[in-house]
Amino acid sequence: MFPGATADREDADYVVVGAPLDVSTTFQPGARFGPDRIRRFAETFDDYDHRTDQLFTERGVHDAGNVRAWDDAPAYLEYLEGVLTDVVWDEAVPLLLGGEHTVSVAGVEAVEPDVFVCVDAHLDLRAEYDGNEWSHATVTRHALDVVDEAVVLGARTGSPEEWDRAAEDDVTVVPPEAVADWEPAVDDGQSVYLSVDVDGADPGFAPGTGTMEPFGLTPREVRDVVRAVAPICDGFDVVEVNDRDDGQTAALAGKLLREFVFSHQP
Domain-embedded: residue 2: no
Domain-embedded: residue 88: yes
- The predicted pLDDT at position 121 comes to 98
Domain-embedded: residue 176: yes
- The predicted pLDDT at position 189 comes to 86
Domain-embedded: residue 3: no
Domain count, the chain: 1
Q: Which residues of 191-220 are buried (b: 16+ CB within 10 A; e: fewer)?
A: bbbbbbbbbbbbbebbbbbbbbbeebbebe
Domain-embedded: residue 109: yes
Contact 166, 133 (CB under 8 A): no
Range of the domain at 146: 9-263
- The predicted pLDDT at position 198 comes to 98
Q: How far is it, in rounded angstroms, from Cα 189 to Cα 57? A: 29
- The predicted pLDDT at position 22 comes to 97
For residue 218, the one-letter residue type is: T
CATH of the domain at 62: 3.40.800.10
pLDDT tens, residue by residue, 171-186: 999 999 999 999 998 8
Domain-embedded: residue 4: no
Alpha carbons within 13 angstroms on the beta-carbon side of residue 255 total 16
The pLDDT > 90 percentage for the chain reads: 95
Domain-embedded: residue 63: yes
Cα separations (Å) of 48 from 6, 16, 63, 251, 258?
Answer: 14, 19, 19, 17, 11
Beta bridge pairs of residue 209: 241
Check the CA dihedral 18-24-28-29 and report its sign.
positive
Query: How much is the pTM?
Result: 0.97
Domain-embedded: residue 250: yes
- Which helix H or strand E contains 130, and what residues bound it? none
Question: For the chain, which ranges sit under pLDDT 70?
Answer: none
Task: For residue 90, give the nearest of 82, 98, 102 by alpha carbon.
Answer: 82
Backbone dihedral region of 264: left (phi > 0), alpha (psi from -120 to 50 degrees) or beta? beta
- The predicted pLDDT at position 34 comes to 98
For residue 99, say if its preceding peptide bond is cis, omega within 30 degrees of 0: yes
